[in-house]
Amino acid sequence: MFLEYAFGPVSRPAMTRLLPPLELAGRMSRLGTENAFEVLARAKALEAQGKSIIHLEIGEPDFPTPDFIVEAGLQAIQDEANHHYGPAAGVPDVREAVAHHVAATRNVECSPLEVVMVPGSKPVMFYAMLALLEEGDEVILPDPGYPIYESMVSFSGAKPISCPLRSENNFAADPEELLSLITPATRMVILNSPGNPTGAVLPPESLDAIVEGLRNHPRIWLLTDEIYWRLIFDDAVHSSALSNPDIRERTILLDGWSKAYAMTGWRLGFGVMRPDLAEQVSRLMINSTSCTTTFVQRAGVVALEGDQAPIEAMKERFNRRRLHIVKLLNEIPGVTCALPQGAFYVFPDVSSFGLPSGEIAEKALQEAGVACLAGTSFGKAGEGFLRLSYAASLANIEEGIGRLRVILDELR
């Protein structure tokens, strides 16, 4: 199944060839995955057999990329200047535009030398970890949290240390608990606000307390994953560790175009970090992808600088779906679902049904045709919860939650 996701439809005859055993490098056993893609592949396979599936599993906007960005991409690809290798760290004037954007949105000075353009935002975490972590180092990461953190930390040879995010704290990190996990081996702390899978937003005072605590630990880096920062609702405010001068030189910002601009397939992201680390990350770029696609970078600048009305309109539609899905979930006896303040996920508590959340998610897929994820796909602390993405139409949300309700009613 993974092969189908990774490579597209796999040629059956090729797969029946007899191959000698595959002797993999040991490090491959430390690599995890993103369960959302596996569930998507299984859901698609069921669809191919004629089964009706409601997709609430995958974390990408269901909207097309706004027209003005597509137009900019088309123009950029027609310009021969964008047909060749570019500098590993990114096109200089694109880095400059991103530095401006970061300065304006994080209320902080930012130099283009601190910006590295990468294909998607995932490489920011991968490269930062490869550049900084040694075997035996510890990295404190959110649980439940984006599964690639744990995977990448383990792959790099370091040790993931889970910081439980608790429902009674609205799934925001508790500064005291997080800081209590620090040991002499701690080299990095990962924050993700708004967070995947819970949609939780870290309150500014909690961020301040974490930064204050880290002042006494000058060897610890802070990786702040702000990929969902534009998708924030109600009176919640986004606060970025990058804005705090006390930790600025040890902060690595991860951001990109995938979520806010509905550009997951374009693969465009950026990191902001001190210039000497940016140079080292550029060396990893040279050794892996050479550079980020030049015309995609050009379209990215237009996305940042153009009329933001289509982006706000997408956000408003997400907001309506958010309110509706939470209402529908709370109407199911035995389910409680907090109203998340960011991203496009809800994380309902289904522990009252007495089944592991993996089994509930499996039943939902197989028996009701609702693709969603078990909370445990995001860490042990996700047991008792499901993650549903509301990057789906209101009609599909209604149908999906209606079907889920039938399954859950049978379990009571």
Binding site for ligand PMP (CB under 6 A): 59, 120-122, 146, 192, 196, 225, 227, 256, 258, 264, 269
| Residue number with CB closer to ligand PMP (314 or 335) | 314
8 Å CB contact between 62 and 391? yes
Residues 248, 251: Cα–Cα separation, whole Å? 5
| Residue number with CB closer to ligand PMP (75 or 288) | 288
Coil/strand/helix, residue 186: strand
Question: Least distance in Å: CB of 178 to ligand PMP?
Answer: 17
Coil/strand/helix, residue 334: coil
Question: Least distance in Å: CB of 117 to ligand PMP?
Answer: 12
8 Å CB contact between 199 and 346? yes
**Alpha carbon distances (Å) from 206 to 97, 190, 225, 299, 308:** 30, 14, 16, 36, 30
Question: Least distance in Å: CB of 321 to ligand PMP?
Answer: 17
Question: Which distant-in-sequence residues (6+ apart) come within 8 Å of 104 by Cβ?
Answer: none
| Residue number with CB closer to ligand PMP (196 or 251) | 196
Question: Least distance in Å: CB of 256 to ligand PMP?
Answer: 4
Question: Least distance in Å: CB of 391 to ligand PMP?
Answer: 11
| CA-based nearest residue to 378, from 153, 35, 144 | 144
Residues 51, 399: Cα–Cα separation, whole Å? 14
| CA-based nearest residue to 192, from 228, 234, 243, 162 | 228
| Residue number with CB closer to ligand PMP (178 or 408) | 178
| Residue number with CB closer to ligand PMP (321 or 405) | 321
Residues 57, 22: Cα–Cα separation, whole Å? 31
Question: Least distance in Å: CB of 271 to ligand PMP?
Answer: 11
Sign, CA torsion 281/282/287/292 = positive
Coil/strand/helix, residue 370: strand
| Residue number with CB closer to ligand PMP (138 or 225) | 225
8 Å CB contact between 201 and 173? no
| Residue number with CB closer to ligand PMP (322 or 363) | 322
How many CA atoms are closer than 13 Å to the CA of 2, on its beta-carbon side? 4
How many CA atoms are closer than 13 Å to the CA of 376, on its beta-carbon side? 13
Cβ atoms < 10 Å from Cβ of 43: 22
| Residue number with CB closer to ligand PMP (98 or 408) | 98
Residue nearest to ligand PMP (CB): 120
Question: Least distance in Å: CB of 216 to ligand PMP?
Answer: 28
Cβ atoms < 10 Å from Cβ of 139: 26
Question: Least distance in Å: CB of 405 to ligand PMP?
Answer: 27
Question: Least distance in Å: CB of 268 to ligand PMP?
Answer: 7
What are residue 371's DSSP bridge partners? 55
Question: How many angstroms separate the first and last alpha carbons of the chain?
Answer: 32
| Residue number with CB closer to ligand PMP (86 or 199) | 199
Question: Least distance in Å: CB of 62 to ligand PMP?
Answer: 14
| Residue number with CB closer to ligand PMP (59 or 400) | 59
Length of the chain as a residue count: 412
